[in-house]
Amino acid sequence: MRKRFNVTGSCNPDWHYMVDTEKRFKAVEALIDHGDYFTINRARQYGKTTTLDTIWRRLSDRYLVVPLSFEGIDSTAYASNETFTAMFARQMKENLLSLDRNDTVVEIWQDCTAKSIEELSLVISAYCKEVQKPVVLTIDEVDKSLDNQLFLDFLGMLRNKYLERNRKGMQSTFFSVVLAGVYDVKNLKLKLRPESEKKYNSPWNIAADFNVDMTFHPEEIAQMLGDYENDAHTGMDIKAISEEIYKYTTGYPFLVSYICKIIDERLEAAWTLDNVQQAVKIIAKGENVTLIDDLSKNLENNTELREFLYSIVVNGQEYSYTMIDPMVKLANMFSYIRENQRGKTMIHNLVFEEALFMYFGNKKMFEEGTRISPYVLNYVQNGKLNMEHVITRFRDLMHEEYRGSTEPFLEKEGRLLFLTFLKPIINGIGFYYVEPQTRDNRRMDLVVTYGQQEFVIELKIWRGEKYEENGRDQLSNYLATRGMDEGYLVTFDFSKDKEDVEPQWFEWNGKRVFEVIV
């Protein structure tokens, strides 16, 4: 059976193309060897379940690894102490039977009659003393149980047994416990009853920090593509493709694998830079993509998160990257943001940025009706995009719709309006992304590709003549770094008393710049 790229469930190196996880697994193994309790808390589809399966596969010679999952547990299991302990005993029995080993000692769990958390604690001690190897317990999908007091009581019991190990011995309880979920169980913000006040209180404060880097770096992506190329013989430029995939994903494991899967299975295994972009577009649209679906749900269900991400994506707002800020912490937990070189927040990857621009753009289209729909007037001629014409028509549209309007116009929203205008023009062939180093609340550089064409457009907010000259300097310098001779400058200045300035080309620092003032 030929291997394939996998984006559902756990990955297995015998069945799937995978990056070499040896280095990061060694860090996980070290935590277990120290007898630590910890949580693998990472965003959705970040490799948590694969890591748990690797623990079972790689460490079962030294430990008795019991892999549990709380995915799909019936709510009746949490009806009482008795139903919860019965559920846990049943999971232990069934998973030990599935291991088909001589050292599992299933009878203790078959005969378990514990009716309380305290009685379950005694059974755990009896079991761990009976088996010949240290027992490692892993529990996947713990997020499903974090709002239930019985589960938190269970974690509290495990914490107490962990603290008693020095007195009662290491075999008095599980040697190591590994939980996996999106939320950091160590810092739960609990609200167990609707009428209660939210508060930080976790029974898992004995957990070791989990600081393992689980992102895929370009050289790791290249290794995975190299394994694929040994089988497929496509002739791809492995280094260029791996760097392009990393550029759009920043190493988010699911996104890396999904881009590869789309190119291999839906784009006829044509490994080109253009097809990397095409795969990104397919993912960002969110059709049958659970990760993008989760992003949409989180935006709809959390107004604060939606406004926070809008301020970063559209307004170029920067926040200090500190987990003391609850909203930064929340967005970081979902891996919607990361830290830039200046210690500020930025969107985690270009796939998310594309999806967010489409989300906010559609919202704006709905609010504005058809007013910001683009003119369908010869933007593409002989397969070439006429960016001068695109920007000029956008400026004309904005003047027609907003000059003299009594409705307030927020200059920062001009960026979103421009991107919403641009999107259907380049849709299907072109792509755009914001250059991260130039994003702030005054300017952002937009890189637009259309086939083999590439354009750099600086979007600025008018702040006076001096800043305008600075903007021209910045654009010309940025063009120089990309080896380009022409660029475009769109300045938003909707002063009611300002005279119209016609679009024009001019020379600046040896570069040709086309400027429009909106």
Domain boundary among 235, 258, 285: 285
Domain boundary among 285, 307, 333: 285
Residue 322 within any structural domain of the chain? no
Residue 40 within any structural domain of the chain? yes
The four Cα atoms 98, 102, 103, 107 give a dihedral, to 10 degrees, of 70
Q: Note the pLDDT tens digit of each residue in 255-307.
A: 999 999 999 999 999 999 999 999 999 999 988 899 999 999 999 999 999 99
Quote the percentage of the chain above a pLDDT of 70: 89
What per-residue confidence (pLDDT) applies to 29? 97
- Residue 456's H or E segment, with its range, is strand 453-461
What per-residue confidence (pLDDT) applies to 195? 46
Q: Note the pLDDT tens digit of each residue in 402-418.
A: 665 555 555 567 888 89
If pLDDT is split at 50, 70 and 90, which confidence band does 71 have? confident
What does the mean pLDDT of the chain come to?
A: 88
Residue 336 within any structural domain of the chain? no
Contacts of 144 (CB under 8 A, 6+ apart): 70, 71, 73
Q: Note the pLDDT tens digit of each residue in 90-99.
A: 999 999 998 8
Instruction: Give the pair of three-digit tokens for residue 188.
Output: 């739960």
Shared domain check, 381 and 264: no
What per-residue confidence (pLDDT) applies to 191? 40
Cα distance between residue 70 and residue 222, in whole Å: 35
Angle formed at CA 69 by CA 145 and CA 77, multiple of 5 degrees: 50
Cβ distance 253 to 240 under 8 Å? no
Residue 315 within any structural domain of the chain? no
Domain boundary among 172, 200, 228: 200
Shared domain check, 196 and 222: no
Shared domain check, 193 and 101: yes
What is the domain range of residue 483?
A: 370-518
Residue 210 within any structural domain of the chain? no
Shared domain check, 246 and 163: no
Cα distance between residue 255 and residue 283, in whole Å: 8
Min mean pLDDT across 119-128, 198-207, 253-262, 340-349 is at 198-207
Instruction: Determine how many CB atoms are found less than 10 A away from the CB of residue 231.
Output: 10
- Secondary structure E strands in 217-350: 337-339, 345-347
Shared domain check, 431 and 514: yes
Residue 320 within any structural domain of the chain? no
Instruction: Give the pair of three-digit tokens for residue 158.
Output: 């495990």
Q: Are strands 337-339 and 345-347 parallel, antiparallel or unpaired?
A: antiparallel
* CA distances to 234, 236, 259, 459 from 268, in Å: 10, 13, 13, 37
Shared domain check, 192 and 71: yes
What per-residue confidence (pLDDT) applies to 403? 61
Shared domain check, 128 and 65: yes
Shared domain check, 112 and 224: no
- Residue 253's H or E segment, with its range, is helix 253-265
pLDDT for residue 359 is more than 80: yes
Residue 484 within any structural domain of the chain? yes
Query: For the domain that residue 117 is a member of, what is the CATH number?
Result: 3.40.50.300
φ/ψ (deg, to 5) at 391: -70, -40
If pLDDT is split at 50, 70 and 90, which confidence band does 420 have? confident
Instruction: Give the pair of three-digit tokens for residue 38.
Output: 């910890």
If pLDDT is split at 50, 70 and 90, which confidence band does 41 have? very high
What per-residue confidence (pLDDT) applies to 247? 96
Shared domain check, 222 and 195: no
If pLDDT is split at 50, 70 and 90, which confidence band does 498 have? low
Shared domain check, 241 and 171: no
Q: Note the pLDDT tens digit of each residue in 450-467.
A: 988 999 999 888 777 767
What per-residue confidence (pLDDT) applies to 337? 97
Residue 331 within any structural domain of the chain? no
Cα distance between residue 392 and residue 503, in whole Å: 7
What per-residue confidence (pLDDT) applies to 193? 43
Q: How many domains would you assign to the chain?
A: 3
Cα distance between residue 139 and residue 70, in whole Å: 7
Cβ distance 346 to 339 under 8 Å? yes
Shared domain check, 142 and 57: yes
Shared domain check, 185 and 51: yes
